[in-house]
Structure 1
Amino acid sequence: MSFQEARLSMRDWIATDGHVWLHLAKTLCAAFIAMIVAMRLELPQPRVAMTTTFVLMQPFSGMVLAKSVYRFAGTALGMLAALVLGAVFVQQPELYALALTTWVAACTALAVRYRQFRWYGFVLAGYTAALIGVPAVADPDSLLIATLTRGAEVMLGIVCSSAISALVFPRHASATLAQSLDARQARFAAFAADVLRGRLSRLVRERRFADFVDEIVGFEATRGFAAYESPAMRRGNGKLARLNSAFMDACARLHALDQSMKRLRGSDALAPFFEELAHIFERQPLNEHLERYKATLPKRLRDAQRNLPLTDRATELDFTTSAELLYRFIADTIRYVSISDERPAPRYEARTNRFVIGATFARTGIVIGATAWFWIVTAWPSGAYAVIGATLACALSSASARPSKFIAQMAAGAALAVVVGYVFLCRVYPAIDGAALLCAMLAAPLAAGAWLAMRPASAGFGIGFCVFFCLLAVPDNRIVYDPGLLLNNGLAAVIAMLGAAIACAVLVPPRTQWLVNKTLDALRAQAALACEGKLAGIGERFHSGTHDLMSQLRGLLTRRSREHRHALSWMLATLEVGQAAIDLRHEARMLDPQRFPDALRLAWSTALARLLRDIAVLFRAPDSATLRRAIASVVGSIIVAEDMLALVCAERDARHDMQRVLACLHFIRGALVDADAPYLERIFPPHAKKPSASGD
């Protein structure tokens, strides 16, 4: 092998497997430094500091720093909760255990509501209180000392993790973020070209739109923790937020244009425009070509409209609708690829259905409460570890779509940790001396656990092994050679986690059809938000909420299953009708009411209000009656809008305003009577007669 080939091979290894080994080395380094410093400071449980590093370490510096901030806040809140509850329920173990259970359940439920790294802050606030307060149930006099020492150990782990991640061969998410942005723009441009040329099947198009959902949500998470890495990233955070918002708009516009190409006859006259635009998407720089194309587009569209048959009003309206969608798509794509505006950064709104939050609270409370009750009633010597095991299992699995599987993996990892810990306690620790040799012996099992934790398929095994090996088997400042204690505590934790896994599989698991339907109802309700919400910032709230809910459904449903495709169809229908309703509301506000007589102005305001109300009702409760009523409202609004257009046809600006309003209405009507619409599939069987575009 030549020197050049060896250099290229080494570069490829560093870019792939090298990152894995670097992350493992940094994780072990942070863990051992935390353990040694805790021993030097004579903290009672260095293993807690060590456990903190394994929970905190992430591949990117910004992820560790963001996690550290929320862990610091969550730990402080958990310490305060343990002290307050201990003071209120002093020498009342039953009430103290009940209050701790309620606190942990509430924090876990809030973690489900506020996801990403905020999730971790709420989880820490819950199980830190349990780690401090559960041992103090039987010994309330030690509560204050336990709180202070536990806080010092956790903070030491935070400092070590952050320092090693930021100073030792740091990996910055900002570089990865820039690469992902370029790759996403290239994928979007290629996809748009294929859609405009009609090359893709409906199934392929839906899957590509679903992939964009994951990219949008993942980008938002990356943007959040990348802001912790440097002042430059914090200054550019608003621009990145606008970029993600513009990408959501462009995706929705592309889908709407794709639907108009399928539904509307006027799209045939626009076929040359679609081909020209597809060619532009294959060229660089994209924004410059789009700007030039957009500048000449209105005149060319007017010329093409003059060549339409004068007597065919339906074709003319179809053409106007498709042309308006084409223009809006180009405008939103330019905003996405250039992002030169300085508007306030949009706020990404994560949505979680309240029934999902309530189910998480109930499930966590029942599991921890039952374990604590059994411990107190039976005076189980290792019951404290059973409660801690149940708490950790419920808290760490709250972000998983399959918590029972994740907890079962944690239990298996904890069982292996007990076996390995027994070997270390009986054979390894008595035969070694010194911190260096201790770190060398601990490196292999902890590295294996950290390696498993890095992979989504085996994350539960790795987390369970690392956490419970540290909690059960890593030596404290004053080591206790008691294998029986280790086995009893480990067995208690494993049994509690197995019980938690069974409970999470039985007590309203996240994948149960009832909860999935509630999340789907919340997704559909986003269309009602588009019709009824405040116009200020409604586009950002609508798109972010819709994509976030769909991301949750993609985690709950099996990919490429019938249920997943049904949910995806609802997302696309919600996006196209909701965006059209937002456009309609904006365009309606631009109309000059003084140009129309009072009777016609009143008829329009009444028809528009009825239309928005009926669409909101349809998406909240789709059935045959609400569908027919919504179609009839759209048709009625079109009739009134046609009368208004006839009055201002001689005034260019007013005519264009009314034509844009009619385009929105016509697109909504086409969406409601589309044969592939999910509400039609739900309401009408294949052999049933579907409603016509006239609403009859």
Structure 2
Amino acid sequence: MTAMEQGGTGMAGARRLRQPAARPTWLPPGSIAFCLRSWAAVMLALGAAFWLQIDSPASAGVTVMILSQPLRGQILSKALYRMAGTLAGAVVAIGLVAAFGQDRIMFLGGVALWLGLCVVLGTLARDFRAYGALLAGYTVAIIGIGCIDRPEDVFTVAIFRVSAIMIGIVSIAIVNDVTGSPTAWHRLAAGLRRGAAEVGQIAHDAVNGRATPDDGAWLDLAARIMALTSQVSFARTELADSALRMTGARSAMVAMLDMISCSRAIGGVLPAGAVRPAILAAVRRRFGDGTPFADEDAARQALNDLLHAAPADAPPTPAEAYLIERTMALLSYGRWVRDGIRTLEEGRAAPRVARDVRIARQQDPVLALLNGAPVMTGFAAAALICVLGGLPGTTTTLLQVATILTLSITTFDTRAFGIGALVGVPLSTVCAMVLDTRILPYGSGLPFLALMLAPVIFAGCLLLIHPRLMPVGLNFGVFFFIVLGLDNVHNYDPTQFVDRNLHYMLSAVILFFALTLAPPSARRRRFRIASAVATTLRRQFIGRGDIASPALISRQYDRLLQARTWTGHLPRKPATLRVFDRIVSLGDLNGALARARRHLARAAAIPAVAGQVARTQAMLRALHGPDAAGRLLDQAAHLLAAAGHLPPADRETLLGAVSGLFGAARLLDRNARALRHYGILPPPEAAP
């Protein structure tokens, strides 16, 4: 991440970025079409399952409701990982039953360990990869626990489950192809266009000295850009040339993050008054309306002109060089954004697309293990209750508990998930009971069933697309078919219906207490983010940190977004906000040092300044003491003086190093006390 020094920031920019919040509506655009597609896919899946005489044909309907998504790419991506997770879970279930078919304690212990492992993997993964990992976990419960009293049937049950899921996947794919559901890559392109316009406006305001967005506004924009990573994952399944197009999308996303960093850095250095009016005027004239450079030669010529805008007897200072370099970087990154979007939309590589760009996320194995432990504990407690209770059919309760506990880690707000189970399961039970006892016995045939199920499916879809009611919608829509228990020969006996679903109600109560009594700690999660930032910074101070790259800047922004999320779940006190501001500032310092090290590594190959660059690199590996910031500024001034006699390409490289050193010096000075207090900056005797 590039340096992000900030001075005073006003709210005008925030107001420009933040659009008025749209009123929540039960019928957002496209919702009716989404409901109709889901209903048609459910009925196609149920019809095929009944015709093929699949055991538990309701699983096909459950699959469709789980896979129901507004965009085609979302459906295809989720279907791919659902199939992979189901196959993995089926294999493990067969293995556990074969190994511990006669020992329930060992079998249930194996299921608990497998659930915990899948939760750990699901926590570390993103998007539908995480869903596939979690599905592999609770598929073992669905297949294995369902056969705990009849282990000889496990292979047959596994085959039927896989078959039902395949029917559901094919059904929803056919319906969406026939009806032409919206595509993810078009939404991705639109999102990139909107992001580029907002980032361009921020850059224009920053260079021209207007108020820049506050932390909340620019983090909102960064969050929207990072969220497009999911659309990249979905869109890959829609296009034959997706590798090239998605490379363009990722290139544009990283360039936009860099532009946010540059804009913040410029917005921080201008209020300090360290730039002479003549140079500032020249920078603003050259930036113009923010149109990117046509080619590299034009960029280098502009840089040369700006460096010579000052009088010969008063060359640019490091602060002025910093402004010049950051402004020229804005125009350069603007070209990366433009060419990346062109590559996505046209399917042809534009001149500036980063082939090896990678968007990295913050991964924390410790937190993943902490997520897995409650799932294992909750399942073990539920198993103990069921075993000691001795109630018949308690395998149904265990199955439900395993499924919802595993899925609960997909959201921070597990309390809402628990409430969703407590509300959604009884609601689905009531609807299923009305259909099973008062409606379905008085009709026959698939058309009649389709008409009777339509209101329930529509209600489930509308709940699923409503953000605040999604947990209720998931439990209601998905488990309605399980509760209804549709079979090839359906039994309408109300007594059996009650006996069959009593255990779902018990599981809902167990889940409510398991998910609401011990929610994860936001403070601990934020502490893990702060610890990761501090560790990364320590590595920079001893010369072992990563140099500036797309992976580094995307990981840094992901850390900041996670830190903001956990901070939002804490009491809004001044101390809480100060901790978050410190995380932002230390992350900025890491980015500035990484950028300086990248340019210095390139400058080391320039013979005229190789010795001086080597001394600077050695100094960066031994940053310590109260005068560290002053020594960085002195070194930046020396390198800037040497840059005036270099060819344009070499001057550009050295100027990047000067800019990184200047930004790091400002942030070192600002965070000196915190760095010493937390032991991040090594003392003289510990420095290499």
**TM-score between the two structures when normalised by the length of structure 1:** 0.84
Partner of 2:566 in structure 1? Answer: 556
1:516 equivalenced with 2:490 (yes/no): no
Equivalent positions of 1:481-630 (< 5 A) are: 481-507=492-518, 509-527=519-537, 538-558=548-568, 561=572, 565-566=577-578, 569-570=581-582, 572-589=584-601, 590-591=603-604, 603-611=615-623, 629=625
Cα distance, 1:364 vs. partner?
Answer: 0.6
Residue identity opposite 2:331 in structure 1:
I
Cα distance, 1:494 vs. partner?
Answer: 3.4
Partner of 1:272 in structure 2? Answer: 281
Q: Specify whether residues 352 and 491 from structure 1 end up closer, same or farther in structure 2 by C-alpha distance, changes over 3 A only.
A: farther
1:244 equivalenced with 2:253 (yes/no): yes
Cα displacement string for residues 202-248 of structure 1 (whole angstroms, at most 9, x for unaligned residues):
xx332221112212221111011111112143431211121112222
Residue identity opposite 2:292 in structure 1:
N
Q: Specify whether residues 538 and 640 from structure 1 end up closer, same or farther in structure 2 by C-alpha distance, changes over 3 A only.
A: closer
Q: Specify whether residues 561 and 280 from structure 1 end up closer, same or farther in structure 2 by C-alpha distance, changes over 3 A only.
A: farther
Partner of 2:373 in structure 1? Answer: 362
Partner of 1:617 in structure 2? Answer: none
Partner of 2:269 in structure 1? Answer: 260
Superposition RMSD on alpha carbons, in Å?
3.2
Which of 301, 316, 332 aligns to 2:306? It is 301
Which of 55, 61, 72 aligns to 1:61? It is 72
Which of 198, 208, 224 aligns to 1:187? It is 198
Partner of 1:228 in structure 2? Answer: 237
Is contact 1:256–1:576 with CA below 8 Å preserved after alignment? Answer: no
Equivalent positions of 1:20-31 (< 5 A) are: 20-31=31-42
Partner of 1:403 in structure 2? Answer: 414
Give the distance between the partners of 2:314 and 2:606, measured in 1 at CA. 32
Partner of 2:437 in structure 1? Answer: 426
1:450 equivalenced with 2:470 (yes/no): no
Give the distance between the partners of 1:206 and 1:116, measured in 2 at CA. 26
Partner of 1:619 in structure 2? Answer: none
Cα distance, 1:32 vs. partner?
Answer: 1.0
1:633 equivalenced with 2:643 (yes/no): no
Cα distance, 1:641 vs. partner?
Answer: 5.9
Q: Specify whether residues 19 and 571 from structure 1 end up closer, same or farther in structure 2 by C-alpha distance, changes over 3 A only.
A: farther
Q: Specify whether residues 250 and 401 from structure 1 end up closer, same or farther in structure 2 by C-alpha distance, changes over 3 A only.
A: same
Cα distance, 1:111 vs. partner?
Answer: 0.7
Q: Specify whether residues 602 and 246 from structure 1 end up closer, same or farther in structure 2 by C-alpha distance, changes over 3 A only.
A: closer
Give the distance between the partners of 2:205 and 2:579, measured in 1 at CA. 24
Cα displacement string for residues 360-384 of structure 1 (whole angstroms, at most 9, x for unaligned residues):
1011111111111221232222321
Partner of 1:622 in structure 2? Answer: none
Cα distance, 1:196 vs. partner?
Answer: 2.4
The answer to which structure has the higher helix fraction is 1
Cα distance, 1:539 vs. partner?
Answer: 1.0
Partner of 2:473 in structure 1? Answer: 462
Partner of 1:625 in structure 2? Answer: none
Give the distance between the partners of 2:542 and 2:41, measured in 1 at CA. 52
Q: Specify whether residues 117 and 530 from structure 1 end up closer, same or farther in structure 2 by C-alpha distance, changes over 3 A only.
A: farther
Give the distance between the partners of 2:654 and 2:173, measured in 1 at CA. 58
Cα distance, 1:576 vs. partner?
Answer: 3.1
Q: Specify whether residues 277 and 374 from structure 1 end up closer, same or farther in structure 2 by C-alpha distance, changes over 3 A only.
A: farther
Partner of 1:661 in structure 2? Answer: 657
1:384 equivalenced with 2:372 (yes/no): no
1:196 equivalenced with 2:207 (yes/no): yes
Give the distance between the partners of 1:635 and 1:595, measured in 2 at CA. 25
Partner of 2:8 in structure 1? Answer: none
SS where residue 411 of structure 2 aligns?
A: coil
Give the distance between the partners of 1:641 and 1:124, measured in 2 at CA. 54
Q: Specify whether residues 161 and 96 from structure 1 end up closer, same or farther in structure 2 by C-alpha distance, changes over 3 A only.
A: same
Partner of 2:138 in structure 1? Answer: 127
Q: Specify whether residues 582 and 293 from structure 1 end up closer, same or farther in structure 2 by C-alpha distance, changes over 3 A only.
A: same
1:328 equivalenced with 2:340 (yes/no): no
Is contact 1:28–1:446 with CA below 8 Å preserved after alignment? Answer: yes
Cα displacement string for residues 266-286 of structure 1 (whole angstroms, at most 9, x for unaligned residues):
2655432454366413xxxx3
Which of 153, 158, 163 aligns to 1:147? It is 158
Equivalent positions of 1:150-165 (< 5 A) are: 150-165=161-176
Give the distance between the partners of 2:39 and 2:541, measured in 1 at CA. 53
Give the distance between the partners of 1:381 and 1:73, measured in 2 at CA. 33
Is contact 1:197–1:275 with CA below 8 Å preserved after alignment? Answer: yes
Give the distance between the partners of 2:312 and 2:610, measured in 1 at CA. 33
Partner of 1:618 in structure 2? Answer: none
Q: Specify whether residues 643 and 183 from structure 1 end up closer, same or farther in structure 2 by C-alpha distance, changes over 3 A only.
A: closer
Is contact 2:432–2:483 with CA below 8 Å preserved after alignment? Answer: yes
Give the distance between the partners of 1:594 and 1:287, measured in 2 at CA. 31
Is contact 2:145–2:399 with CA below 8 Å preserved after alignment? Answer: yes
Higher mean C-alpha deviation, range 237-246 or range 73-82? 237-246
Residue identity opposite 1:220 in structure 2:
T
Cα distance, 1:331 vs. partner?
Answer: 2.0
Is contact 1:266–1:317 with CA below 8 Å preserved after alignment? Answer: no
**TM-score between the two structures when normalised by the length of structure 2:** 0.85
Is contact 2:199–2:256 with CA below 8 Å preserved after alignment? Answer: no
Task: Determine what percentage of the aligned residue pairs are the same residue.
Answer: 19
Unaligned residue ranges in structure 2 (runs of 5+): 1-26, 341-350, 679-688
Is contact 1:280–1:289 with CA below 8 Å preserved after alignment? Answer: no
Higher mean C-alpha deviation, range 215-224 or range 512-521? 512-521
Cα distance, 1:646 vs. partner?
Answer: 7.0
Higher mean C-alpha deviation, range 256-265 or range 565-574? 565-574
Is contact 2:547–2:595 with CA below 8 Å preserved after alignment? Answer: no
Q: Specify whether residues 537 and 271 from structure 1 end up closer, same or farther in structure 2 by C-alpha distance, changes over 3 A only.
A: closer
Q: Specify whether residues 308 and 671 from structure 1 end up closer, same or farther in structure 2 by C-alpha distance, changes over 3 A only.
A: farther
Give the distance between the partners of 1:77 and 1:534, measured in 2 at CA. 39
Cα distance, 1:424 vs. partner?
Answer: 1.7
Partner of 1:341 in structure 2? Answer: 352
Q: Specify whether residues 479 and 648 from structure 1 end up closer, same or farther in structure 2 by C-alpha distance, changes over 3 A only.
A: closer
Give the distance between the partners of 2:516 and 2:239, measured in 1 at CA. 43
Is contact 2:640–2:655 with CA below 8 Å preserved after alignment? Answer: yes
Higher mean C-alpha deviation, range 210-219 or range 57-66? 210-219
Q: Specify whether residues 193 and 308 from structure 1 end up closer, same or farther in structure 2 by C-alpha distance, changes over 3 A only.
A: farther
Which structure has the higher relative contact order (CA within 8 Å, separation 6+)?
2
Give the distance between the partners of 2:96 and 2:36, measured in 1 at CA. 40
Residue identity opposite 1:197 in structure 2:
N
Give the distance between the partners of 1:656 and 1:367, measured in 2 at CA. 58
Cα displacement string for residues 142-184 of structure 1 (whole angstroms, at most 9, x for unaligned residues):
2111111111111111111222122222211222222222222
Cα displacement string for residues 70-94 of structure 1 (whole angstroms, at most 9, x for unaligned residues):
0010000000010011111121111
Unaligned residue ranges in structure 1 (runs of 5+): 1-15, 615-628, 685-696
